[in-house]
Amino acid sequence: MEWEPDRGLRARMALGLALVAVLPVAFVYAFVFAANTVGVELLAWATDDPWNGRFYVNPVLVVGAVAVGFAAQFAFGDSVALRSVDARRVDREDYPDLVARVDRLAQVAGAPAPDVAVSRSAVPNAFAIGARPSKATVVVTEGLLDALDDDELDAVLAHEIAHVRNRDVAVMSLSYFLPSLTYLVAIAAFYVLKGVFYVGGGLDDVDGDGAKGVLVVVVVLVVSALVTLTVSALFWLASFLLFRVLSQYREHAADRGAAAITGDPAALASALRVVDDEMSDAPDRDLREIDGGLEALYVAPVDTYQFGDDRELLSSDLFPATHPATEERIERLGEMVEERA
């Protein structure tokens, strides 16, 4: 088959890469700005002396640190992802039929044959990882292999190979850097606030100069933590927009790619229905086993939007709304079936 490049996806990927590069640097300098405004005023208040200095961070050091973070993501991201969902790479001796299917579909798509990994989870799902197509890995759960028939399995595997062929996997992998960073910083600030209020409850016996000193420390810590939470929240929202730039469109693009590879859009529609139904019935414990902060990569999302308000999955708060509605995807695939009739 002749692969048709998706210009809309390429434009979104280019914008996504620009944001991936710029936002972490901007995140650091947002804290520098906060330190030179709120921080300076806070120091002047705490010391009763004007504070004339300014905080400065060398741009070369910031860019270098961000580059190191991205390099680490490229080097270790795949291994971390596989460990987070208890998956291991397999070969023809382990899963001969599965590996043969992936190789055949990759050949049809004109893509390098990716490695194959299997997660021991009973929840049906799949995703692809890899910094570049030649190093890609398609990951499936044991639950997916049990739940789908041959045509449906081919369709899901083709969907993941389409992600590899479209090269959007690497961009999505890098996109995790900023929301992960903002989340960790926000969590640290939260625990500072929690600690301040916990310790503050036991300071009733402090008086005089000691009480004044404690008050100064408490105010400084509380204001600093609140500023940190605010900056982190703003950049988390920016990272959310970054995911929205790519995530929903890339799923539709991969659906179209899967239909082109297999020639059977109805099989993918059926597979999405099965996966959606099976996950809706899965216990929370099973869902958490495959969550791992990777739901933006799955063929179908593992998040509270799908499962309701009572599903408390951490990474659905961290990376929300990563997929279009399953019904919408099925409807579009149905339109493809009609066009081919």
DSSP annotation string for 205-241: T--HHHHHHHHHHHHHHHHHHHHHHHHHHHHHHHHHH
Other Cβ atoms less than 10 A from the Cβ of 170: the count is 22
Q: Which pair of tokens denotes residue 63?
A: 């860019």
Question: 111 and 85 in contact (C-beta within 8 Å)?
Answer: no
Cα distance between residue 164 and residue 102, in whole Å: 12
Would you mind telling me the total number of residues written for the chain in this entry?
A: 341
Could you tell me which of 237, 299, 232, 315 has the C-alpha nearest to residue 19? 237
Pairing mode of beta strands 126-129, 115-119: unpaired
152, 160, 251, 278: which is the annotated catalytic residue? Answer: 160
Q: Is 160 a catalytic residue?
A: yes
Question: 224 and 191 in contact (C-beta within 8 Å)?
Answer: no
Cα distance between residue 292 and residue 289, in whole Å: 7
Cα distance between residue 301 and residue 319, in whole Å: 11
Backbone phi and psi for residue 128, each to the nearest 5 degrees, phi listed first: -125, 145
Query: Residue 157: in which H helix or E strand, if any?
Result: helix 150-166
CA dist list (Å): 60 to 34, 54, 56, 341: 20, 18, 12, 58
Return the active site residues.
Answer: 160
